[in-house]
Amino acid sequence: MKLFLLGFMGAGKSYWGKQLAAHWDLPYFDLDEVIVEREGMPVADIFNTKGEDYFRKREAAVLRELAAENDRFLISCGGGTPCFSDTMDFMNANGVTVWLNPSIPLMVERLQRKQYKRPLIQDLGTEELTAFTEKKLAERQPFYEQSQVIISDDEITLETFEKLIRHA
Ligand code: S3P
């Protein structure tokens, strides 16, 4: 199985990525974490010192490397991964793409817990964060909605994935 988990920040990609990889016994990669390891600094520092463009190039390249090096995998992408270069097409051609798309209030609530780690939203209050999420999500939707599997519920379980991802 080759699975790419996509979705906005706070959609639950890392949480469900770990659960599903354990459940299906798949090698698991959190794309942000692999980049952080290889660059030797947190994502926020990469943005601040090397710039967002550099980060976007790294995420496109590292994703392709992980897919080339592994026969089976589950990769939890960063929120912006599918929206730059031709990464969405690449993922659709090389595995199953799954878009986690919970409600905006749920994502905002989760984002407030680990906001410091995310350079795009570091200084935003609740209202600003909600407005930012609505706007950015609308911009990114055309990419996310090219996913082969779309999960838009707030309440999901392993069975939700079992039912939707069978022959991957
Ligand atoms: C980003 C999402 C982050 C991380 C970076 C940029 C984005 O990943 O890649 O801060 O553009 O949405 P998470 O979705 O895991 O927070």
Tokens of 62: 């590292």
What is the distance between the alpha carbons of residues 144 and 161, in angstroms, rounded to a whole number? 17
pLDDT score recorded for residue 166: 73
Ligand 1 centroid to Cα of residue 108, in Å, is 14
Decide: 119 in ligand 1 pocket, CB within 6 A: yes
Tell me: pLDDT of 34 over 80. Answer: yes
Element (H, E) at 55: helix 52-69
What is the distance between the alpha carbons of residues 106 and 143, in angstroms, rounded to a whole number? 21
Ligand 1 atom 4 nearest Cα? 78
Tell me: pLDDT of 168 over 80. Answer: no
| Pairing mode of beta strands 149-151, 96-100 | parallel
Question: Is 86 annotated to bind ligand?
Answer: no
Confirm if 67 and 97 have CB atoms less than 8 A apart: no
Tell me: pLDDT of 18 over 60. Answer: yes
Please name every residue paired with 76 in a beta bridge, in sequence order, or none if there are none. Answer: 5, 30
CATH number for 48? 3.40.50.300
pLDDT score recorded for residue 61: 98
Q: Where are the beta strands (DSSP E) in the chain?
A: 2-6, 28-30, 73-76, 96-100, 149-151
pLDDT score recorded for residue 123: 87
pLDDT in tens, 47-105: 999 999 999 999 999 999 999 999 999 999 999 999 999 999 999 999 999 999 999 99
Decide: 12 in ligand 1 pocket, CB within 6 A: no
pLDDT score recorded for residue 82: 98
Torsion angle, alpha carbons of 57, 53, 119, 97, to 10: -40
pLDDT score recorded for residue 113: 87
Structural domain including 149 reads 2-164
Q: Region 128-134: what's the mean pLDDT?
A: 95
* Mean residue pLDDT across the chain: 95
Query: Is-above-0.80 flag for pTM?
Result: yes
Decide: 80 in ligand 1 pocket, CB within 6 A: yes
Number of independent structural domains in the chain: 1
Tell me: pLDDT of 20 over 60. Answer: yes
Ligand 1 centroid to Cα of residue 91, in Å, is 17
DSSP annotation of 96 reads E
What is the distance between the alpha carbons of residues 130 and 59, in angstroms, rounded to a whole number? 26
Decide: 100 in ligand 1 pocket, CB within 6 A: no
Neighbouring CB atoms inside 10 A of 22's CB total 12
Q: Pocket of ligand 1, candidates 32, 34, 87: which has the most ligand atoms within 8 Å of its Cβ, to mutate? A: 32
Which residues have a Cβ under 8 Å from the Cβ of 154 and sit 6 or more positions away?
102, 103, 106
Decide: 32 in ligand 1 pocket, CB within 6 A: yes
| Ligand 1 nearest atom to the CA of residue 35, by list position | 9
Decide: 17 in ligand 1 pocket, CB within 6 A: no
Tell me: pLDDT of 167 over 60. Answer: no
